Structure 1
Amino acid sequence: MSATLQAFVAPWRYHLDHNGDSKFRDTRKTQFPDHGADADTLITASHVHSFHLGTGASIYTQSILPALLQARREIILVSCFWAQSDTLAALSDAIAQLAQERERLISSQSGAAIEPLRIRICFSSRSLLQKLFHPNSRDGFVYPPHTWPSQLGLPAAEALRAGAIDLQVKTLFFLPFSVMHPKFVVIDRQRAWLPSCNVSWEPWLEGCVEISGGAVSSLMRFYQNVWENSLPDLRDDGNASPSSPELAPSSWLTAIQSPASRFAPLSLESVPTVLLPSSHHQNPCFRPFPWMDDPKPPLTPLNAAVSCLLEMAQHSIYLQTPNLTSASVMDGILQALGRGIHVTIVTGKNMMFLEQIVTAGTTTSRCLKSLIRRYHNLDASASTLTPSPGDDTLTANPDMDLEAGRPRLGRLQIAYFRPDNDNRAGGVSEEPVQSHLKLTIVDEEYTVLGSGNMDRASWFTSQELGILFRSVQFANVVGSNVHDVLKTRTATLYESGRARDD
């Protein structure tokens, strides 16, 4: 483990072992899944192959589905939401094409058997009725094959069997609103994609990172703990037949384009990486009365990582999240600003409004107004140290207030995402109308991507999955591409030194 990653891991492990609400610590073994005892297995390394920005449909059709068509033994696809959409139609076509090509391969071998291709599709939410009547069991619900075309928009079982494809579709959901929120795709247990998008219709700005290496093994352990406890071995004996060596996906798979698409091919080897799951919790721990203190969230690996990064920051924090209603995150932001750390926030305005009210009892806009008010009232002396004569603090910190003997407040910038005005006026297809990207960059060195939002639902009840990379190069690639996309797609809500926008 590199010294820089150790600087993160030590406080992260301390948070997991000592902080957070004791009620959650005492019931940790009932969490789904429990990562308290094997957190060290989450610390690994990865080879980062690409970073992709765009809408969900463009990311799937340009990056994920072409790789899916080259699968030889297994495809694992996990999404939170599942809905009729261009993404689903393209996915269904890709699976049907795989089945047809494999059937041709069987015919060309005079009916000789080929190794079955395992496909496991997992999701949590399809409709309100589906969630209300979902079995309250960790075994979930497995969709019968006859329902695949009518309810899920997938190819018929007969066509898949003819191509030696072994498909299973499973859902997990726990009332009142504990969705399984992670999204990832793993091909042949060798390469993985972690997108922020679901298999759904929303034209939102999304991100996706492609990796291989040790982090994929950690991801497979997470999948096994949640979705498929009796996961069979995949024996690579060198004799397995490919799905179709002659298949040329570009000849039939139409790549959906978005004006927000940015694709950065990478070849970053041995990047220190930490997989960051968050277990689901059924108890939202609401405090309905104003005199009741806000409870501490369960410090899952993901929650603890974000808290640690906010505490560790030396000069800058960048947060992009659809919603911002987590009290813990806002407290961490204020403390960082008090230390002189510069904070930039990009979020959504009125995005998933009803969901925010139900899961948080507040909205992002209200929380941002509170954050700005607290920033104006922040007493820097409460969180800084006055240097004594001869102390070298002033030399070490160029942002020091020479008269007060303490760091100046960090700059705060807050912006709402909005569509590009020209593209919107011109009716350009796949112009993102909201940002669904979940991104944290600290000190231009630590990057966290995944499914976790900075809202109360992600911090208390939803199962989430994030991934942390310690790489200046990767942080710069992600940051520069995001900055490029956002040039014409943000509206400033607040910036230090400007008049407040109430």
Structure 2
Amino acid sequence: MVSPYVYDLCQATETVTSELAKDPSQSPGDIVKKLYGHHEHALHHNASTQKTTPPPSPPNEAIETIQKALHCGHWGSTIPSQLFLQAFADALQCLDEDPIAGVVSPPLMGSHGTIPLTVIAPLADVMRHTANLIARAQKEVFLITCSWAPSVAQRLIRGALIELSKRAGQRGERVIVKVMYDKASPANAMNPHQNIKPKSYTAKSVDLPSPEEIPNIDMEVVSLHRFVLGTLHAKFCVVDRRVAAVMSNNTEDNDNLEMMVHVEGPIVDSIYDTALITWQNGLHPQLPLCNSPPASEGGVTSPVQTPGYRNSTTTEERTGTVTERNGEEVTREHTPEDPHFDDDITGEVKRMQASYSEKAGETRLQAANRKLNVAAPTPIDPSGPEIQAGEEMTPYILSSNDAKPVPMALVSRPPYGAIDSKSAHVPQNEAWLSLIRNAQRNIFIQTPDLNAGPLILAIIDAVKRGVEVTYYVCFGYNDPGEMIPGQGGTNDQISQALVASLPENSSERELLHIYNYVGKDQDHPIHQSFKSRSCHIKLLIVDECVGIQGSGNQDTQSWFHSQEINVMVDSVEICQKWREGIDRNQNTKKFGKVAKDGIWRDDSGKPGKGYMGNPGTVMGLVKGAMGMVQKWKGPGGF
């Protein structure tokens, strides 16, 4: 039930963004306190975090809940589905205890917009789009990420900032840039938000451009970490308050397959508001577009950022994926050393797909292998079957020409540092659980690891109701860390427990399908410890019509501690394109299904190389401690 208090919060005209526009001398953190009271996520515990699954509402109450939720969002001309509205209503309930639990002003939590582009690709190819967005900026850029390390991804962003400064200088203008990343330094223990000086952010460990290298940009850099476990895990970029990219990836090099959605329209104002709340500190200088009119329903109108679809590509009608440009010269890849920025999404798609095409003497399989090896710490040869025509990797997936706005909502969570699991009642978790609880036909999940207790119970309940559940996880993802008691367990431990919890040969067990990620060029899962083929996508789709994409993993850390950002989307077309893109750009569906005992096995019945089994409590502590030390020493990888 949406309470009168929450209903009124959503009807208010004041938001953090609007109040900052009235008085730019305020900090977003002070505005949050003024509008919503003081909610220190490192200190307060939600009294209702141990809630059990709510009983079904009486028909009249359920209808009233849906109606109230409908009036708590700004849907424009779109009409949200009942499944979407129920999840939105359940997420809104969290605001009773903390109005800012969704890391967005309540009036902006429910909105609408378009998704002209989805990216399902290796990390660097996701960041190529981010780099293009930054280079095309006119006034301001907000870039927020988790782990930041010297890498191809980092150099792409560095190069984009230098290009942005050059273009701004040619226009005789200046651009404001705000950058945030997670860093657990001693200073963050005193104040989670730390201003980073140029001397620090130009050091080799970060390698952002110095003020002298970007003379036409005013850049501020802040690190955020709420001790002990309150990681800034959200990853997103907002450009000119007109375009936003919500992504799964950090800014580093690894072997991960990642996912990004490019959104336009009013939902961008919601993400912009989240950026301000996350920043919290005063803005020096101020953001020039803070007092601009909100983003239009149609999204971006500037030709600089507008995707020109017509007559631009050979497109597969079914998937919207660009595979070739017949009769045109091969387009050179955009790299840090040889930059080639594009004016619009169409140009980006052409350039990106060209890089996945076969070079002289290559097969399609070899081309995919080449691309997947680029940033992998341990490159490997292909083992999968040859890729057939029409099944090539298509990392940049376009929406249809006549894409209309669809209902969207931000379902996120704030950082929580305490070493317990009391910060559970947050919009992210409640939206996930609501969709699973109300699923009628099927549930699809892809996540690096899956071990959150409430989710496991929800999956068991779903298959017992006759709902088909399919989930993809990464073989061995962070096994040592997940073995620590209290962290939930490894993917293999959870899959075995899930299978064992269901009667053998039962219909419930037949409805549960568990897969380990397999790269597009492979025929078997590869343990994440080998750093050759891993997957970091975070996606939930229910009944093929409502999806949640973002930064949140289905693990203990993301459920109870890290700050996350996720977009819930109500669209059959978009969910279909996401699902098709997932299976087209990996071989998980073909080769990744686990055996009847929950463990992936080869043709001879042996588990995959690197399988760690169930070490027990003592060895779990030992291996877990070693894994956490390695994780803290490394660049990240959350």
TM-score (norm 1): 0.77
Instruction: Give the Cα–Cα distance (whole angstroms) in 2 for the partners of residues 190 and 137 of structure 1.
Output: 35
Instruction: Give the Cα–Cα distance (whole angstroms) in 2 for the partners of residues 60 and 167 of structure 1.
Output: 19
Structure 2 segments unaligned to the other structure (5+ residues): 1-74, 294-302, 305-331, 341-351, 357-370, 373-392, 525-530, 608-638
Q: CA deviation at 1:365?
A: 1.4
Instruction: Give the Cα–Cα distance (whole angstroms) in 2 for the partners of residues 327 and 233 of structure 1.
Output: 44
Partner in structure 2 of residue 253 of structure 1: 339
Q: Which has the higher contact order (CA 8 A, sep 6+)?
A: 1
Q: CA deviation at 1:222?
A: 1.0
Partner in structure 1 of residue 500 of structure 2: 373
Of the three residues 200, 208, 214, the one matched with 2:252 is 200
8 A contact 1:316–1:341 mirrored in 2: yes
Q: CA deviation at 1:414?
A: 0.6
Instruction: Give the Cα–Cα distance (whole angstroms) in 1 for the partners of residues 514 and 132 of structure 2.
Output: 37
Task: Supply the AA of the counterpart residue of 2:176.
Answer: R
8 A contact 1:148–1:157 mirrored in 2: no
Task: Provide the aligned length of Structure 1 versus Structure 2.
Answer: 429
8 A contact 1:323–1:347 mirrored in 2: yes
Partner in structure 1 of residue 84 of structure 2: 8
Q: Is 1:94 aligned to residue 221 of structure 2?
A: no
8 A contact 1:16–1:36 mirrored in 2: no
Instruction: Give the Cα–Cα distance (whole angstroms) in 2 for the partners of residues 300 and 477 of structure 1.
Output: 28
Partner in structure 2 of residue 395 of structure 1: none
8 A contact 2:449–2:477 mirrored in 1: yes
8 A contact 2:192–2:226 mirrored in 1: no
Partner in structure 1 of residue 593 of structure 2: 492
Q: Is 1:124 aligned to residue 210 of structure 2?
A: no
Secondary structure, aligned partner of 2:567:
strand
Change in CA separation of 1:490 and 1:346 when aligned onto 2, cut-off 3 Å: farther
Report the more deviating stretch, 367-376 or 320-329: 367-376
8 A contact 1:84–1:153 mirrored in 2: yes
Of the three residues 195, 206, 231, the one matched with 1:179 is 231
TM-score (norm 2): 0.61
Q: Is 1:140 aligned to residue 140 of structure 2?
A: no
Cα-to-partner distance string for 1:233-285 (whole Å, 9 max, x where unaligned): 41669xxxx99xxxx99694266763555211115221110111112222242
Q: CA deviation at 1:495?
A: 6.1
Task: Supply the AA of the counterpart residue of 1:279.
Answer: P
Task: Supply the AA of the counterpart residue of 2:180.
Answer: C
8 A contact 2:101–2:426 mirrored in 1: no
RMSD: 3.5
Task: Supply the AA of the counterpart residue of 1:116.
Answer: R
Partner in structure 2 of residue 272 of structure 1: 407
Partner in structure 2 of residue 338 of structure 1: 464
Task: Supply the AA of the counterpart residue of 2:114.
Answer: H
Instruction: Give the Cα–Cα distance (whole angstroms) in 1 for the partners of residues 598 and 150 of structure 2.
Output: 46
- Percentage of pairs with the same residue: 21
Change in CA separation of 1:409 and 1:325 when aligned onto 2, cut-off 3 Å: closer
Secondary structure, aligned partner of 1:454:
coil
Partner in structure 1 of residue 514 of structure 2: 414
Partner in structure 1 of residue 151 of structure 2: 85
Instruction: Give the Cα–Cα distance (whole angstroms) in 1 for the partners of residues 515 and 200 of structure 2.
Output: 44
8 A contact 2:114–2:405 mirrored in 1: yes
Change in CA separation of 1:413 and 1:186 when aligned onto 2, cut-off 3 Å: same
Of the three residues 248, 272, 279, the one matched with 1:220 is 272
**Between Structure 1 and Structure 2, which shows a larger proportion of strand residues?**
1
Q: Is 1:468 aligned to residue 544 of structure 2?
A: no
Task: Supply the AA of the counterpart residue of 1:145.
Answer: P
8 A contact 1:458–1:464 mirrored in 2: yes
Q: CA deviation at 1:60?
A: 1.2
Q: Is 1:447 aligned to residue 499 of structure 2?
A: no
Structure 1 segments unaligned to the other structure (5+ residues): 19-23, 107-113, 126-130, 287-294, 381-406, 425-430
1:16-165 paired onto structure 2 within 5 Å: 16-17=92-93, 28=98, 33-35=100-102, 39-61=106-128, 63-103=129-169, 105=170, 114-125=172-183, 131-136=184-189, 140-150=193-203, 151-161=205-215, 164-165=216-217
Secondary structure, aligned partner of 2:257:
strand
Secondary structure, aligned partner of 1:285:
coil
Q: CA deviation at 1:364?
A: 1.9
Partner in structure 2 of residue 211 of structure 1: 263
Partner in structure 2 of residue 389 of structure 1: none
Task: Supply the AA of the counterpart residue of 1:479.
Answer: R
Q: CA deviation at 1:442?
A: 0.5
Secondary structure, aligned partner of 1:277:
coil
Q: Is 1:362 aligned to residue 513 of structure 2?
A: no
8 A contact 2:139–2:240 mirrored in 1: yes
Instruction: Give the Cα–Cα distance (whole angstroms) in 2 for the partners of residues 472 and 420 of structure 1.
Output: 25
Change in CA separation of 1:271 and 1:157 when aligned onto 2, cut-off 3 Å: same
Change in CA separation of 1:15 and 1:41 when aligned onto 2, cut-off 3 Å: closer
Secondary structure, aligned partner of 2:154:
helix
Instruction: Give the Cα–Cα distance (whole angstroms) in 2 for the partners of residues 415 and 497 of structure 1.
Output: 9
Partner in structure 1 of residue 618 of structure 2: none
Of the three residues 438, 447, 450, the one matched with 1:324 is 450
Instruction: Give the Cα–Cα distance (whole angstroms) in 1 for the partners of residues 138 and 499 of structure 2.
Output: 53
Partner in structure 2 of residue 262 of structure 1: 395
Change in CA separation of 1:69 and 1:132 when aligned onto 2, cut-off 3 Å: closer
Change in CA separation of 1:490 and 1:171 when aligned onto 2, cut-off 3 Å: farther
Task: Supply the AA of the counterpart residue of 1:187.
Answer: V
Instruction: Give the Cα–Cα distance (whole angstroms) in 1 for the partners of residues 466 and 224 of structure 2.
Output: 43
Change in CA separation of 1:432 and 1:214 when aligned onto 2, cut-off 3 Å: farther
Cα-to-partner distance string for 1:107-165 (whole Å, 9 max, x where unaligned): xxxxxxx332011111113xxxxx1414235661111112232241112221222xx20
Q: CA deviation at 1:352?
A: 1.5
Secondary structure, aligned partner of 2:189:
coil
Change in CA separation of 1:14 and 1:72 when aligned onto 2, cut-off 3 Å: closer
Instruction: Give the Cα–Cα distance (whole angstroms) in 2 for the partners of residues 496 and 479 of structure 1.
Output: 26
Report the more deviating stretch, 221-230 or 340-349: 221-230
Task: Supply the AA of the counterpart residue of 1:156.
Answer: S
Instruction: Give the Cα–Cα distance (whole angstroms) in 2 for the partners of residues 494 and 309 of structure 1.
Output: 27
